[in-house]
Amino acid sequence: MSLLEQTLSSISKTLNQEALAAAQDRLANQAKPAGSLGVMEEISARLAAIKGTIDVKLTNKQIITCAGDHGVCQEGVSLFPAEVTPQMVYNFANNGASVNVIGKHAGAVVKAADLGVNHDFEPDLPIFHKKIRKGTANFTKEPAMTRQEAILSIEAGIQIVNELDAQAPVDLLGTGDMGIGNTTPSSAIIAAFSGIEVEKLTGRGTGIDDQALKNKIDVIKKGLALHKPDPNDPIDVLSKVGGLEIGGIAGLVLGAAAKGIPVICDGFISTAGALIACELCPAAKNYLFASHKSVEIGHQYMHERLGLEPLIDLKFRLGEGTGAAVCMELLDLSTRILADIKTFEEVGIADAQ
């Protein structure tokens, strides 16, 4: 049995219903109007069901920023050159990027992972060295990668979770991305699964103008028409129009779900990875939280397909794991709402509800 098959078979289809019922009962009887903390109560109850306890502790928080380059950049879909991808990986490794700063504030360890950057990193650079190949192919001319490479990218993400959890049990995982041009394959992925018009799913990415946006839409249409990715085969979609870092993120989601670790999905690209994961195994959604609503217009369609409501809308469009880092603090707080707010019985108030 392959690592991917083994992981898929390890994901529980249901959460701990006893812990969920206990959490909901406690929330309903706390010394406040029932349901008055809204979504925070829902988060706390789901975390209890994932962890099997009312008193959840999210101590070991990890954010993995998966990086990869994209051959489709040759078609002029991004404002920035592909050379920025490896430069940003060095920035992550040196704790100088946005996700490093926000992640540190949230008490998370941030680490980059090279899934497919077109650069030779030094072996001692403190990142996860999981390169499958040096960037995807230009999907307007050939499939982005082979089917085997797509599977290997997913398994690399699973390996990262397994390695982290072996060092110390992971309580909460955040996903992030880095890859110039990667909003293009992300739009192509949701288009392939949903059948929605490409124009409705494609945004400006790094800030391209109207002419470049029209070109980007045409590029995605060309790739989809050429390869006809099968929406019933997530690996086919990933291999034909996806990205290596997107596959890595899918692996992070699946690896976390298999180990019962809640995972916060970041923005547009991270959600493309989560979509691949949940199309492969719908039960993975039980462990998945959507951090924020990206400015990228296709993001809402991904959330709708996943049946997830983003927790915040701060007009982010950066990626890296920044939204996931911000929302780690919300999940942390939700655990204290459930465990620490007293019930009416505990404070001696009778018949309040």
pLDDT level of residue 352 (50, 70, 90 thresholds):
low
Q: Is the pLDDT of residue 350 over 80?
A: no
The residues annotated with a catalytic role in the active site are 320
Task: Look up residue 312 and give its DSSP letter.
Answer: B
Phi, psi of 242 (to 5 degrees): -95, -155
- pLDDT tens readout for residues 64-84: 999 999 999 999 999 999 999
Alpha helices (H) in 195-317, listed in sequence order = 198-201, 210-227, 234-241, 244-258, 268-280, 299-306
Q: Is the pLDDT of residue 125 over 60?
A: yes
- Per the prediction, the chain carries an average pLDDT of 97
Q: Which two tokens stand for residue 163?
A: 């390695």
Alpha helices (H) in the chain, listed in sequence order = 3-10, 17-28, 38-51, 84-93, 98-105, 147-167, 183-194, 198-201, 210-227, 234-241, 244-258, 268-280, 299-306, 322-340, 344-347
Report the percentage of the chain scoring pLDDT > 70: 99
For residues 198-224, give the mean pLDDT.
95
How much is the pLDDT for 207?
Answer: 86
The pTM of this model reads 0.97
How much is the pLDDT for 353?
Answer: 53
- pLDDT tens readout for residues 220-266: 999 999 999 999 999 999 999 999 999 999 999 999 999 999 999 99
